[in-house]
Amino acid sequence: SWVCAVQAAYMDRVSLFAEGFYAMPNCGEYDWNLDTTDNSKRGKMYCYHSFGVCCAEVEVDLRTGEWSCQRADVLMDVGHSLNPAIDIGQIEGAFVQGMGLYTLEELHWAARDVPWAQPGTLVTTSPHTYKIPAASDVPCDFRVSLWAGTPNPRAVHSSKAVGEPPTFLSAAVFFAIKRAICAANGTAFESMDSPATAERIRAAFADDVVRELSRQLGEFRHQTLC
Which of the residues are catalytic?
A: 164
Best CA proximity match to 177, nearest among 14, 54, 67: 67
Ramachandran angles phi, psi of 121, nearest 5°: -80, 135
Q: For residue 6, what is the enclosing H or E element? A: helix 2-11
How many Cβ atoms from other residues are within 10 Å of residue 84's Cβ? 12
Q: For residue 90, what is the enclosing H or E element? A: helix 84-103
Ramachandran angles phi, psi of 56, nearest 5°: -125, 145
Strands (E), the chain: 29-30, 43-44, 52-61, 66-76, 141-146
Chain CA centroid to CA 40, Å: 29
